[in-house]
Each structure stands twice: as structure tokens, then as C-alpha cells.
Amino acid sequence: MALFIVRHQHAAERCPARDPYIGATLLNHLSRPNVRQHGLKIQGEAVVQGEHTLYLIVEAQDERGLREFMRPFQLAGSLDVYPASTCARVVASGGCAALMPVSELVPALDPEEACQQAIDAGLVVHRAHPLNCETSIPALIGGVVMPTARFYIRNHFQIPNLDPGTFRLTVGGLVERPLSFSLRDLHSMRSQTLIATLECAGNGRTLFHPAIEGEKWSLGAVSTAEWTGVPLAEVLDRAGVRPGAREVLFRGADGESCRGESGPNRFERSLQLDHARDSDLLLAYAMNGEPLPIQHGYPVRLIVPGWYAVASVKWLTEIELIDRPFVGHYQTDKYWYEWERDGQVVREPVTMQLVRALIIEPAPNQEIRAGELALRGVAWSGAAPIARVEVCVGTGSWQEARLVSERKRYSWQWWELITRVQEAGVVSLRVRATDLAGRTQPEHAEWNRLGYGNNAIHQVQVRIA
């Protein structure tokens, strides 16, 4: 279906609505049941007040059929039909006259559709193509898991739209028995469910100064879900790992063709073999009790709980056992901390999530009446469950907040503090978390070239009236 804008104009003395019978006939003609019978869909309609001009936004198979349907209006005046687009499509394609990007590797989700779904769900879009959007901070408050539609989305390429009927997950390389699993095969194996918080390594990048290139994440590139799938260790055991294997390489279907190079640029990440054998790593095919959504890796994605989400490869199609450290763009060029210390560049790979807490309520710059003040938020850490959360109000001392929900190894932790504030004016609220491994948030995170791991103490200001 193509999108069109229709404009109809008529002279004041020929206004069809002046005759109630003709007006009613046109209303019936534009009724949704009649429109559907003609294979059309009207998305919106409006008459410019006092100007005898009607505008319609219509989906139709072609312009010819649309003009035929609009013939009664053409008899009353002029009729103009314009090929149109949506705002989401224009932004995703990169301009009003630009062509929509097309995936050359695998069938892909329509960028316009993916972007519009994210907007409708209330996500904050940072880039329409490839689609990257974060959860709004107010939406973080709530239950144990984030509703799937509001779970943040991170992509490096167009979103693959894989056929579950022909899907295969292959296991090869240094294995005794190369394997190929259909989606049905995976569903028939022993399953495991865990609740895990995923966070983009660049979450909070916009709070670094000076500014850093990359996706302009605020603090909402984090969400929690219930993941169900096959333990990765079981798949490795079925394949039989041969001596000499050092790492497990995971390859997603997402990527792009690279002209002048031997092959496409695919999203690939590896883990050391010992870590890959951890019993909590999953080949997930369900999220929050439903099939994994396309935006989050359908049919199968890897879940590496406790690590930044770059390790949790989406649209997983290949697992390969290799005998050397993997060298790839998203393994060695990106997702490294890089600091300059004493004139030397120091590098460290991005792995476990750093400990962090956020204030969700009250909102920044919110006006609050003097007296009782309720603060609520969420905290998480990749190394261990949260041990305590502390809040500082104004120039006061740190107060320990109450941990609301049950401690879980890989899931975020809700907290709240009820205190009192009597003096009017602007008050700063700060929060910091400490995990059971003894790690505490720093006052300021160390600036690094690619803007990863900004877990500085979160601060908001409110106005006490």
C-alpha cells in the first residue's frame, strides 16, 4: 500500500454541504466500511475552515484506483493527488527525496515500520536508521520487568526479518560433531528462564564532558526482561568441544555488504570458553513469556547476564569454536575503554556492567511542596546483587534507602527513601549504589575516548515550594 495526500477544492457557491442530501451522500462515500470495500484506508481527514478545501491522507494500491474512488469530489471541484511519505520514513531514509535503505544480506524489517512502532511505544528515538532508542526515565519505574514494547533498542545495522521456518543455528569449528538446529529443535530441548538486566555500554554517554561521538544515550539505555531459552552449555556439550578451542564466536545475521572486501561486515562477538560454559548463559527464544520480538533478536539471541548488552548477540545464526582470540570490529576496535594516563594509551575491554543507581522519582526540576519527600529509583550491577543504596538530599549526609524488591543476581533492584525537606528553594538529590562485591559508584566516571561505562553518581535538582 502506498501513501497519498488528496486535496479537493470547490467554489463557495458549489459547496456540496449546502445541500444536506449531497453532503450525506459524500459522508457515506467516505465511511470506513465503504472505503475498505474499495481497498483503501483513510488515515486522516480535515476540512480547512472557511476555505472549501478538503485534505485526506489515504493508503491505496495505486493512484489510479484512488482517483476513481474520489470521482464524486472531482465532479464538485478540483482534485489533486500527491505521493506522500511519513515522518518516520523520511527520517529513516535520510531525507525527503532519499530512497529507503535496503538490506543486501538478509530480508529486513521495514525501517519506517520499526521506527513508527518505537515511537508509538513511547521510546525516545536517537536514530531512525539503524534504529536506536532508549526507554524514557519515567517509564523505568514499575515492575520487575520492562514491558517488551518499552525495552530500549540498540542496533548497528538494519533489523533482520528471518523466516522461522527455514531458520538454522549452526555450531561448528573445533567441535566433535557440527550441528544445525531449527527453531523447533531448540524449543524441544531443556529450557531455562532467568531475569536479567541489559544495558548498553554507552548508557550515559551524553553526560561525559567534553562530548564524545557515538549514539547520544542519556540514561535510559537499560531495561530488564525475563528471558527463556536453551542453556548455551548444553549446546556446546552436544557438539563436543575439541582440545585447543579457546573462544566461542557468535555471529548474528545483521550486517552490511562491504564493497572492495572479501565478505560482508557481520556483527560478531566472542567469549572465552570457560565463560561460555557458565550455566546462566542462554540461547533465548522468548522474552517476557512471549516469542522474542524481531527488534530484540528473533528467532534466537544470546543472553550474557551481568555483561553489557553488546555481548548478547541478536539474530544469532552461527556459533564457532576457535583456537585464538577473535579479532573483529566490534571486539577489538569498539567496546574498549581507552584512557590516556601518563602519556600512554591504556585499553581495557568492556565486559561486566558497572554498579549504578538512578533516581526515577521525583523528576528533574519537579516542583514539590515542603514536607515529606519520597524518592524512588532503581539500581543494578553486573558483578553482584545490590548491597545498599544511599541518597543525599541537599548538603545533608548520605541516608540509606530501603531496598524494595528481592535481591536477584542479574536483575535490577528497586529502592525508595521517605524523608523530609522543609526549606524552600532548589535542592540537589544524589544517589549512589554499592554491590555485594564491594564496588561503589564514583563521584565522577573517568572520561574515555568511546564514552563507555559512565556510572557517575546520579544527580537531579528539584524545587521545594
Q: Look at residues 193, 191, 279 and name the one whose alpha carbon lies nearest to residue 236.
A: 279
What is the tens place of the pLDDT at every residue in 309-354?
999 999 999 999 999 999 999 999 999 999 999 999 999 999 999 9
What distance in Å separates the CA atoms of residue 283 and residue 303, rounded to the nearest whole number? 6
What distance in Å separates the CA atoms of residue 198 and residue 226, rounded to the nearest whole number? 11
pLDDT of res. 449:
96
The set of cell numbers assigned to 115 is 521506527
The set of cell numbers assigned to 435 is 554491590
Q: Please state the rounded mean pLDDT for residues 79-95.
A: 94
Cis peptide before 111 (omega within 30 of 0): no
What is the tens place of the pLDDT at every residue in 162-193?
999 999 999 999 999 999 999 999 999 999 99
Q: Please state the rounded mean pLDDT for residues 284-306.
A: 98
Question: For residues 415 and 395, is the Cβ–Cβ distance under 8 A?
Answer: no
pLDDT band at 141 (very low <50, low <70, confident <90, very high): confident
pLDDT of res. 317:
98
pLDDT of res. 103:
87
pLDDT band at 199 (very low <50, low <70, confident <90, very high): very high
Look at residue 410 and tell me whether its pLDDT is greater than 90: yes
In angstroms, the Cα distances linking 160 to 104, 108, 267, 282, 420 are 11, 4, 12, 20, 51
Number of other residues whose CB lies within 10 A of the CB of residue 380: 26
Q: Which residues pair with 406 in a beta bridge?
A: none
Look at residue 110 and tell me whether its pLDDT is greater than 90: yes
In angstroms, the Cα distances linking 196 to 137, 244, 269, 288, 432 are 19, 32, 19, 11, 21
Place of cell 556446546: 236
pLDDT of res. 261:
64
If DSSP states are collapsed to H, E and C, what string results for the chain?
CEEEEEEEECCHHHCHHHCHHHHHHHHHHCCHHHHHHCCCEEEEEEEECCCCEEEEEEEECCHHHHHHHCHHHHCCCEEEEEECCCHHHHHHHCCCCCCCCCCCCCCECCHHHHHHHHHHCCCEEEEECCEEEECCHHHHCCCCCCCHHHCCECCCCCCECCCCCCCCEEEEECECCCEEECHHHHHHCCCEEEEEEEECCCCCHHHCCCCCCCCCCCCCCEEEEEEEEEEHHHHHHHHCECCCCCEEEEEEEEEECCCCCCCCEEEEEEEEHHHHCCCCCEEEEEECCEECCHHHCCCCEEECCCECHHHCCCCEEEEEEECCCCCCHHHHHCCEEEEEECCEEEEEECCECCCEEEEEECCCCCEECCEEEEEEEEEECCCCCEEEEEEEECCCCEEECEECCCCCCCCCEEEEEEEEECCCEEEEEEEEEEECCCCECCCCCCCCCCCCCCCCCEEEEEEEC
103's torsion region: left (phi>0), alpha (psi -120 to 50) or beta? beta
More reliable by pLDDT, 142 or 381: 381
Going from the N-terminus, what domains does the chain have, and what CATH number goes with each?
Answer: 2-83 (3.30.70.1060), 133-334 (3.90.420.10), 356-464 (2.60.40.650)
Question: For residues 251 and 295, is the Cβ–Cβ distance under 8 A?
Answer: no
Is 419 buried (19+), middle (13-18) or exposed (0-12) by CB count in 10 A?
A: middle
What distance in Å separates the CA atoms of residue 312 and residue 223, rounded to the nearest whole number? 13
The chain-wide mean pLDDT, for the chain, equals: 95
Q: Please state the rounded mean pLDDT for residues 283-291.
A: 98
pLDDT of res. 406:
86
Look at residue 356 and tell me whether its pLDDT is greater than 80: yes
Question: For residues 173 and 322, is the Cβ–Cβ distance under 8 A?
Answer: yes
pLDDT of res. 262:
65
What distance in Å separates the CA atoms of residue 129 and residue 430, rounded to the nearest whole number? 35
Q: Please state the rounded mean pLDDT for residues 362-378.
A: 95
pLDDT band at 423 (very low <50, low <70, confident <90, very high): confident
